[in-house]
C-alpha cells in the first residue's frame, strides 16, 4: 500500500498547491459568476435577435429577407472569437462598459444567428392548415402567428434551443482573449502560477461538466412537462 499512500500524498499536495494556497479556488468561484452572467445576458440578447431575424427570414418582403440572410451568413461564416475581438476592440473600444457586458453582447449577436434558424425551422414545422384556420377565424397574420403558430412551435424549438444555450456556455470560454476571467481563464491562471497543469485543467473540465449536466436535466424536465399534452 506504500504506492497508494505516496500517490494520495501527491494528490493532496497538488490540491493544496493549486486551490488552497493563496485562496486560488476563489478564482474559480469568481470565474463561475462571470460565466453565468455572460451566458444569461447573452441568451436573452440571442433570443431577442433570433426572433427578429427569424421574422425577417420568413417575411414576404424581399428587403427584410435580405437583412436576415446577410446577418445569418456573416455571423455563421466567421469564428466567434473573431467576432468577440472585433466587437470588443473595435466597435466598443471607446465605450466604458464592463467587460462582461460587452462579451455578453458579442455572444448574444453570435447566438442570434443560430437561434433565428431554430425559430424559423420550428415555425415552418407547423402545418399550414393551422395558419389557414387562424385566418378563417378572423385573425390577422400577426395574431395567427402569436396565438396559434408560435405556441405550437415552442415544443419543436425547445430541444434545439436548449442545445444552443449549452453550446453558448461552452463558447464563453474564449472571453479570456479580452482579459475577462471566467472558468477557463481561472484554470489557466492557476496553471501558470503553480506550473501544475493537471489539477487546474481537470477542475475546469469538471465545473463545465457539472453545469452542462445540471442544465440538461433541468431542460429535460421542462421539455417533458411541455409534452404532457401530447400524451393521450
pLDDT digits (tens, 9 = 90+) for 66-111: 999 999 999 999 999 999 999 999 999 888 889 999 999 999 999 9
Amino acid 12: pLDDT = 85
Count of CA atoms in the C-beta half-sphere (13 A) of 10: 8
26 pLDDT higher than 90: yes
Pick the CATH number of 33-175 from 1.20.20.10, 1.20.58.1180, 1.10.3720.10, 3.30.70.100: 1.10.3720.10
Amino acid at each position: 500500500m506504500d504506492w497508494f499512500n505516496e500517490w494520495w500524498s501527491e494528490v493532496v499536495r497538488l490540491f493544496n498547491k493549486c486551490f488552497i494556497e493563496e485562496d486560488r479556488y476563489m478564482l474559480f468561484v469568481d470565474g463561475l459568476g462571470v460565466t453565468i452572467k455572460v451566458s444569461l445576458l447573452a441568451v436573452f440578447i440571442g433570443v431577442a435577435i433570433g426572433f427578429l431575424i427569424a421574422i425577417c427570414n420568413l417575411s414576404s418582403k424581399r428587403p427584410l429577407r435580405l437583412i436576415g440572410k446577410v446577418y445569418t451568413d456573416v455571423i455563421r461564416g466567421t469564428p466567434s472569437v473573431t467576432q468577440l475581438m472585433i466587437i470588443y476592440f473595435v466597435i466598443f473600444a471607446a465605450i466604458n462598459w464592463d467587460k462582461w457586458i460587452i462579451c455578453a453582447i458579442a455572444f448574444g449577436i453570435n447566438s442570434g444567428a443560430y437561434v433565428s434558424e431554430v425559430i424559423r425551422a420550428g415555425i415552418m414545422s407547423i402545418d399550414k392548415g393551422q395558419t389557414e384556420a387562424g385566418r378563417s377565424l378572423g385573425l390577422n397574420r400577426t395574431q395567427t402567428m402569436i396565438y396559434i403558430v408560435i405556441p405550437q412551435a415552442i415544443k419543436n424549438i425547445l430541444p434545439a434551443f436548449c442545445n444552443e444555450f449549452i453550446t453558448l456556455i461552452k463558447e464563453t470560454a474564449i472571453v479570456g482573449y479580452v482579459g475577462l476571467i471566467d472558468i477557463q481563464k481561472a484554470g489557466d491562471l492557476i496553471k501558470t502560477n503553480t506550473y501544475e497543469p493537471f489539477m487546474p485543467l481537470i477542475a475546469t473540465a469538471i465545473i463545465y461538466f457539472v453545469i452542462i449536466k445540471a442544465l440538461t436535466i433541468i431542460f429535460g424536465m421542462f421539455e417533458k412537462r411541455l409534452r404532457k399534452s401530447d400524451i393521450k
